[in-house]
Amino acid sequence: MTHRAVAHYLKAVDALGSDAANAVVAKMRNMPIHDFFAGRGFVRADGRMVHDMYLVEVKKPEESRYDWD
């Protein structure tokens, strides 16, 4: 388990004031995730975390016209 998963679990426990498993899982799914690595994210109904990612496309050298391109 990663640090961010544990931190999210502990935030849910703190928000509920309880460590009842079903209630904590439901709270984790309702709470947004904000951290350094994931940015903005959330836990889906199947338990997987989804977060924003960047997609970068790089030109091939033969597609460049200038040195800075």
Sequence letter at residue 53? M
pTM check: above 0.85: no
- Residue 12: other Cβ atoms inside 10 A: 21
Residue 4 or residue 32, greater confidence: 32
Domain ranges of the chain: 3-51
Look at residues 37, 34, 36, 30 and name the one whose alpha carbon lies nearest to residue 15.
30
Highest mean pLDDT pick, 15-24, 48-57, 60-69: 15-24
Query: What's the pLDDT at 61?
Result: 87
Tens of pLDDT along 10-51?
A: 999 999 999 999 999 999 999 999 877 778 889 999 989 898
* Confidence band, pLDDT 50/70/90 cuts, at residue 1: low
Burial letters 44-66, b for 16+ CB under 10 A, else e: eeeeeeeeeeeeeeeeeeeeeee
- Residue 42: other Cβ atoms inside 10 A: 15
